[in-house]
Each structure stands twice: as structure tokens, then as C-alpha cells.
Chains A and B, each alone.
Chain A
Amino acid sequence: MRFQFLPGLWLFLTLLPIIVLFILRLRRRSLVVPSVTIWNRVLKRRPQSALWRRLKQLISLLLHLAVASLLALALARPFLSDRLAPQRIVVVIDASASMTALLPQQGGDQTRFTRALELARSIVADIGPEDHAMIVRAGPRPSVVAAMTDDRASLLNALEDLSASEAQGNLPAALSLALAACRTETTLLSLEAKQGASSPPAPEPDGDTPAVEFEVFVLSDGDGRQEPGDSSHSAAAAAPPADAPDALPKNTRIFYIPLGEAEEPNVAITAFRARRLPSSANGGARLSADFEVLVRLRNFGPDLARAQVELHLDGELLDDLGEVEVPAGQEVSLPLRALSLREGGVLKLAIASDGDALPTDDVAFALIGRLEPTRVLLVQAVQDVFLRNALAHDGELAVEAISPEHYPPSSGRWDVTIFEGWLPPKLPEGNVILVAPRGQANPFSIDEEIEGPVVKDWNRDHPVLSYVVLEGAAFLSAQRIEVLPSGSWSVLADAWRGPLILASDEPSRRLVYFGFAFTDTDLVLRPSFPVLISNAIQWASERELSGRHEQLRTGAVARFTLTESTGDSGLSPLASVIRPDGSVDTLPLHGEAFSYPHTERVGVYVAVAGSPAVLEQWEGSPPATPLTTAAQPGRRPGGAGGSLGFLRSLAEWTRQQAGAKPPPPHHLLATNLLSAQESDLGTRPTLGVGETVLDNPEPRFHRELRLDLLWAALALLALEWLLYTIGVF
């Protein structure tokens, strides 16, 4: 038996006054009365012998002492437990998209995640009075949803508020977080023990006395089957080796409760893109353009699957792609379709197959084009027609070319500034592309030049060099650049004697550095040159981060750009983000761009400049009620309409305004799962971290004795009352 509140035992000191009072009570005041005949009748007792009287008094004393002792014990909150030591329990709940898969044995009503919540509730409900527990959500970014506490109610409340994401999870990071919490708790307990704090005892490395035990319960499907040789996303990576300084805390055990089956039918969308055809990129104002759509499906199930594929534009069926057969374990690419689509629309791909266990990967979204061209300022000190032509042929750019004498221009805002052969005394803020620059503001000290550099290698995975071939390119000369290892610059293309192309991704801007003049190379004559320029502008203008096609994987950090501020009122400008389900997040807007991490749902996110209250200003001319409705924080406007409903309302509102009022500045972003790891629903039998695999949490035995003791004290009081007041004695 252990006690939760040892100071309660001080109540045993009340036994002393009880004894003293009892001794005093024994010396009763004597009173002579004419006769006790009537009193004998009342008490219905015969005169008692001295021995019996003393025995009765002794029994009374014992009863009182027993009652006081029981109350003291109850105050100390004793309990019985089958565990030798207090427990610190960490429940890691996998909240990745795969956890939303339906459990076939549950009749299709229950998902892996709801089952995990059930198990978590049973674990929390089973914690003992000395135990503490915390809950970690293993979503795209692990988070502690309930810190280490013994408050069962708050833990259960945290579980009530927990929901699964539609994004790829990061179970290793969650496990690392759980183990880190165990280590932190160990340290805290040690400090408390040193400071003389009461229970529980700190873990003692070599002691025999039971210390705090740590148990980590992982309720997960294992983040899909591990591919052979792929250890980057393995949960085992979270567990350090035993001899490492940050090895598993002592007395720590990991329990893995796998959820789901080894094989479950699921056809998933693994790629969905809408790309503008080059022939339609002629610049100028246009309402529609030709696009081609890329669709790839993969069958993660054990059997051949047939999927019905449909393409929707702004909620209306655009194209029925028919039924597609996808062999088991195979990936199928659908033929490219050329479509004439309205810019600014939202394209939705939906598939349906029999017995599909995971609906999250059966839908994907893509945005058609963008509303605003990228604004480029070209400052040329040399006559470079190649660069000018490359810029002029990109229909998504709005280019203004000036000479160094006219720099800086009197007005205008620019997404990217290109300096070719010249530099101002100080680099401007914002994204910059430097082409063989000369001047004091050069980030590198150029002392000499390389004659006839030969490209050694280039980073083919970098967006700037995507689809760019540098092999065989001839350079007359190039600047000799010394790159400091500690700098933010990364080399994109390297020659034998120094880098040729570099990029820097700084927090506030991006820079691309070309160490050679475009007039000194034959690269400008190759097809790769306009691609290189386009890539550089896209990447530098940050469009690649949020995507030229404004497409992200769920769970990734989105970066919204709102070109206009609504700070007319003098208050800090705000931005509202309407989620796919229609709920609204309001954030402070510092500058034009802001990051938004809560992209866990598949669908379209809409960032709008202004708070929900500001959005109401636009409802002046009807019908604008959807704007207001959508702008209610926390509400789900339009029911199933969500953010798409908001966009439809916005389009209608803009059409009816007919230019009288501009639409509110907004930025769209489509998020899709597109994760083979999540779509592969095969449950991993083990995590490989030395864990114990369980089907269900082991039931624990905890019994608090406080109520029992109180009932016993009450029973003794009733007995005493019966014996001495009612008059059994």
C-alpha cells in the first residue's frame, strides 16, 4: 500500500487529544439524586459492574481511535497497485493520414484513429493515483497535446479534442519527443529529490528501491511498410543507441500497439498537376488558357483495382476519365489531357474504387494559373538581348528594363530585381538575381577571373536547375568566387576552378548569382537558357515554395503572399486563412508574406487580407453574404462549401461589382496528400526500437482506498452510536 498524500498521516496526532479527552471524560461528575429507579427504566439496563463499565469505556475508546485512524489514513489517500513504482506514461497517438483508414473488422464505422483514441482513453483511465501521463500527437509536426499530469480529466479532454490529420505523419520525431519528455521528467524528479521534495522517489541508477517507471505507448500503424534499405523515416531512428549519452532513460519501456491490417485495399492519387501549355503563354490579359493535366494512380492493395476517375472544375464535372484498372502494387499514369481552363479556377480530381480503405488520398486539388504576373525589374549595364528575349517570352512575367543611370526607379514594386553587369552601392531589399555583377555591393570579392571554365557538376535537384542541362556548355570566362563554408550560399553549378552558379535562401529574401556574363557563353543559345532564367525567377520570387501551381503536400508550411495591406485603420493588419472545411484562422500580417503551418487538410486554403470584421465591409452591395459567412472565425461557412464555396461567392461578388470594387487581396493554395508512405496502409508489425508489441494495453490494478476507509469510519461511527447512544450497552 502506498500513499498519495503522506502529510495526511499527521492526522494521527489527533489520537493523543482523543485519549486525553477520554481520560478526562472517564472522571464524570457525580450527582446525587433521590433515586435512579426511573433512570434505570429509561436506560433499560441493569446496574453494571465496574469491570463491565471499564470494558465498555475501553471499547468506546478503541472505536474512537479506530475512527480517527481511518480518517487519518483516508486523508493520506492510500491505494493498492500492482505496480511497484509510480508510472510516467507517454501516449503517442499517430495522427497521420493513414490513421483515417477504416478498420474492416469494425464494419467500416471505425477508423484506426478512433480506435487509437479508444485505447488511449483506456490507458488514461487506468493510470494510478501516483501516475502521470502525457499525450503526444504524431502529426506532420509532433506536438504535446497534454503535458505530463495526473489530472485524468484534462487528459481525457485533450483526447476529446484530438483529430487525425490528412498529412504525412512523423512518427520518429514523435517518438523522440516522447523519449525526450521521459528524460526531462527524470531530470525534474532528480532535482525534486535533491530539494527534498516528497514523492515520488527519483530514479536511482543502481538502487534496488523501485523508482519511477516510464512507459511509452505508441498507438500507430507504423507509418506504412518500410521500404528495403530505407531507414530515413524509420521509428528506430528515434531511439538512440544504448551507449549514447542520451540513451533511453532507465526504467523506460516502449509498447507498440499496431492498428490495422498488413494488407488493405487502397487506390491513391500519387500525382496530380495542371500545367499551362507553352503555346498559350503569350502574355496579356486573358480569361482562359490551355492546360494539360497529369494524373498518376497507384494501387497499394493486394488485388487488381478499378477506379472511377472524374475531373471537376470549380465544383462542376469537367471530364469523366472513365474507369482505370490499376494492377496490385503498380502505378498507372493517365494520358495527358489538354484542356482549356479558366484561370483562377480550382481543379479537383476524385477517384472511387470498391473497398477503398482510405478516402483521404482519393481526392486531389490543383489551381489553374495565377491571377498576377511576376514583376521583374531588369537593370542592365550591357546589351544582352538573350536575357531580354528570355524574359519577354515568359508570359507570366511583367518586365521593366532600365539602365543603371535610371536606378532606382521612381515607383513600382518588384518581385525580383535582376542586375546584369552592374551593382548599386547597396543591394535593394527583396529577391535579387545577379549576373556577373561588378560593384561594391557584390556579396563576393572578385579578384580574378577564370578563363574558359568547364562545368564539373550541377545540382539537378535544385529548382533553379530543374530541366537545365549544362553539360558541354562553353564559357569564355567567369568570376573566381571563394565560397565560405559557413555562409548561406550553396553552389548550384561548379567548375573545376570555382563555382559558376550559386543561390542563397535567406530568411527575408532569395538571391541567385551567375558568375559569368550571358554574353560570354553559348548557354544562351541552348534551350536550357530560357528554362534556367524562368526557374531562377520562379525560385527567387518564392513562387516555388508555395508553388507556381500553388500546390503543397498537406502538413507542409505554406507561405502566403498578400500584395496589399489593410492597415488603413491604423491597427496591425490581419490576414484570414479560410481552411478547406470553411473554418477561419486569423493571423497578424507583417509585411506581405506570412507562413502558415496548419495545412493538415486536403483541399484549398484561401488567405485573405483583413480580419473577418474587415471582410464584412465588402458586403455593401448584394449578394455578398457568403463573404461575411465565410469570415466568421471558427465557423464552417456554407456547410459543405468550405473554402471552395467561399471562392465561388467571391467570384460571383467580383462579377457583380463589375469593377466598382476590387476583390479583396487573396492567395490560394491547394494541398494534397500525395504520399505513398501514408497511402500504403500495410501496418508494420514492429517499430524496431526494442519495443513490446501488444494487442491491447495491459490492464492495471489500482484501487484507491480512501472511500473504503471513509465508509469504514462511518460504519464504526454508526456502531458507536448504536452501542452507546441507542443503548445497546
Chain B
Amino acid sequence: MAQPDAAMPREGETSTPFDSDFLKKLEYLYIISKKLYRQKLKGERRAMQHGSSVEFRDYRDYSRGDDFRYIDWNIFRRLERLLVKLFEEEHEHDVTILVDVSRSMHFGSPTKLLYAKQVAAALAYISLANHDRVGIVRFTDQLTGQLPKVRGKGQIWNVFEFLERQEPDLSGCTALAEVCREVAMRARRPGIAILLSDLMDAQPGAFEEAVKHLTYRRFEVYVIHIVEPSEQEPTIKGDLNLVDSETREVREVSIDSQLLLRYREAWKTFCQELESFCRSRGLIYLQTDTSHIFDELILRVFRQGGFLE
């Protein structure tokens, strides 16, 4: 969790996050995902609207003006009722990946930012491979960079290049609410919003407000909470001045085992609040720490969280 007086990038950690091994893992993940989920030409994810695909969804009573072609005559012959068949509408989706690059993301080993970039790259690869449009937004207390939406598997190299260029903003605080509000406002049509952050916003209720902005624009929101092990289980002790890496707020503490116990309880409560809030909104909340092996995360944690249907 803590690094003495330095939130500076470590050399070599971010220089080549997407090496050949990483690419092999991505290809493996893609194959697995293809086996798990059959995809259609017009886009791989089912939209909420009823459409004209061949995938049957439901019946409804005929009403004036409906297309006669969709009347189920077999039903009419048996039941003498006019019912119209409904079909799933399938189309391509916009996937917006929001990557937190604030100073607090530059903690841990590997850093939370590096971990977030790898997760973002994997998600972008799978999405592009499934014919979705993928855009990446980096933010601190504001939007500080953006990869315009791209489509096609061949665009993955642009994604990698964009992500590789992302360095932590050492002066940046986290302002989730403002950032999400801006993303929601700029979006032409709602899609999938994947938030990769440690959610360390000093403003109380900022996370909830941010999620509200996105869901208001009918975004499907996936929250991936990236933590480092020492945040959950701190090992520091003694009389310390704890300096907030973003706000520079100093908290004078005398840490003993009792206080550490209370910290763990507070941390657990904090995470439970986030998860219960997401669950109450029908959103997907996943917590992962940087010690998890990356490919396992994609296959196990993402599937457990229902991220890939």
C-alpha cells in the first residue's frame, strides 16, 4: 500500500507491458472466449432493444400496423389468436474503458496502473475481436487523454500503443464523479463502460455519483476495483505521519495491532459498501488485487463477475 515518500514510476515496469508473452495470453483468452460464446456477424452482444435478428425472443398480441410476416400462423390455427413473434436485435457495441492514472494508482508491485493497463488491453482485444467498437479514456480528476473508438481486431496495436504511452499523472487527484459525468455527456450512444480504478476518491460519495451519471445515460457499467495487497493488509507500525499521495493530507497516527485490526474492518466495510451499491444498481463489481495472475483473472474472476456472458 505504502511507499516511502515516492510515488515515482519504477523503471522497466511500464516500458513493455505488452510483450510477446502478453500477446500469447491474449490470443489464448480470445480462443477461450470464442468457444464459450458464439458470436454473430452484426455484433456479438445482445442489445436491450427488440430487433430483427433470427434469434427468437418472445410473443405478443397482434396490433394494427404490425407486419403480417411476423404473425405465427401455427399458433393462430391452434389457438385462434393472432400473436406476433419478436426477435432479438443484434448490433455492434461501444465499449469505453476508463483507466485511472491518478497518483494513487502508482503504488504496489506491480503498480496498480500497470495492472489496469493490462486488464484494459485484454478487454480491448477481446472486444475488438468480437467486432465491438472500443474506446479508451484516461483520467485523474479530469479526462487527460482519449483513444477514439476503433473497430476491428487490427486496431489492437493502436490500443497497445495508446496504453503504453500512459504514464501516471503525479499531480493528479481522483475525481470520479466529474470524469464519469463528462464521459456520459460526450457519449453519442450508450454502451459498455468499464471503470478500472482503485476508487480512492477523497470526496465522500463520489463513486456513487459517478456511477449514477453513467447509468443515467444507460451505460452498462462494469467496475473493476484494483487494489494492492498492502492496502488490504497493511503491515506498517509505529508513530507515523501518513501523507495522502493525491491530496497531500497528513494524518498523524500511532499504529498498533489494535488499530490495524480496526483498519482491516474499515477496509472490508468500504469494499462491501461499494459492492452492495453496485449490486443494488444491477451493476457488475469486481475487486482484484495486483497479486492475481493476469490470465487467471480474465478467465476466472471476470467470468465469476458475469463480465463475459
Chain A interface residues (CB < 8 Å from chain B): 25, 28-43, 47-48, 53, 724-725
Contact = CB atoms under 8 A, between A and B. Distances in A.
Given A29-B240, A42-B266, A47-B249, A34 B254 contact: no
Nearest to B204: A37
Interface pairs A-B: 7 shortest CB-CB: A34-B104, A35-B200, A36-B251, A33-B2, A36-B244, A30-B241, A41-B266
B89 interface: no
Contacts of A33: 1-2, 107, 242-245
Contact of A30 (B5, B7, B103, B198): B5
26 contacts: A30-B5, A30-B240, A30-B242, A30-B250, A31-B240, A31-B242, A31-B243, A32-B5, A32-B242, A33-B107, A33-B242, A33-B245, A34-B2, A34-B200, A34-B231, A34-B244, A34-B246, A35-B198, A36-B247, A36-B249, A38-B263, A38-B266, A38-B270, A39-B253, A48-B252, A725-B254
A47 B251 contact: yes
Nearest to B106: A34
B293 interface: no
Contacts of A37: 200-202, 244, 270
B175 to A, nearest CB: 13
A35 B246 contact: yes
B12 interface: no
Interface in B228-263: 228, 231, 236, 238-247, 249-254, 259, 262-263
Nearest to B5: A32
B200 A43 contact: no
A151 B250 CA distance: 59
- The binding surface of chain B is classed by DSSP as mixed
Contacts of A48: 252
Given A30-B5, A42-B266, 16 more contacts: A29-B241, A30-B243, A31-B236, A31-B241, A32-B3, A33-B243, A34-B105, A34-B246, A35-B104, A35-B200, A36-B251, A37-B244, A37-B270, A42-B259, A42-B262, A47-B251
B65 interface: no
A266 B269 CA distance: 93
Contacts of A40: 251
Nearest to A724: B254
Q: Of A37, A47, A725, which is in contact with the most chain B CB atoms at under 10 Å from its CB?
A: A37
Contact of A25 (B7, B239, B259): B239
A616 B174 CA distance: 105
Contacts of B104: 34-35
Interface in B174-210: 198, 200-202
B241 A28 contact: yes
B266 A31 contact: no
A375 B238 CA distance: 100
Contacts of B2: 31-34
B290 to A, nearest CB: 12
A40 B99 CA distance: 26
B6 interface: yes
Nearest to B6: A32
Contacts of A42: 259, 262-263, 266
Nearest to B260: A42
Contacts of A47: 249-251
Interface in B1-29: 1-7
B236 A39 contact: no
A41 B252 contact: no
A42 B104 CA distance: 19
Nearest to A726: B258
A35 B269 CA distance: 16
A94 B59 CA distance: 123
B202 A32 contact: no
B238 A36 contact: no
Interface string B99-113: 000011101000000
Contact of B7 (A32, A41, A43): A32
B1 A34 contact: yes
Contact of A39 (B4, B246, B263): B263
A32 B250 CA distance: 9
B267 interface: yes
Q: Of A31, A48, A725, which is in contact with the most chain B CB atoms at under 10 Å from its CB?
A: A31
Contacts of B107: 33-34
A34 B263 contact: no
A377 B194 CA distance: 140
A28 B242 CA distance: 10
A41 B243 contact: no
A398 B24 CA distance: 141
B240 A28 contact: yes
Nearest to B240: A31
B256 to A, nearest CB: 8
Contacts of B254: 724-725
Contacts of B270: 37-38, 41
Nearest to B259: A42
Contacts of A43: 251, 253
A722 to B, nearest CB: 14
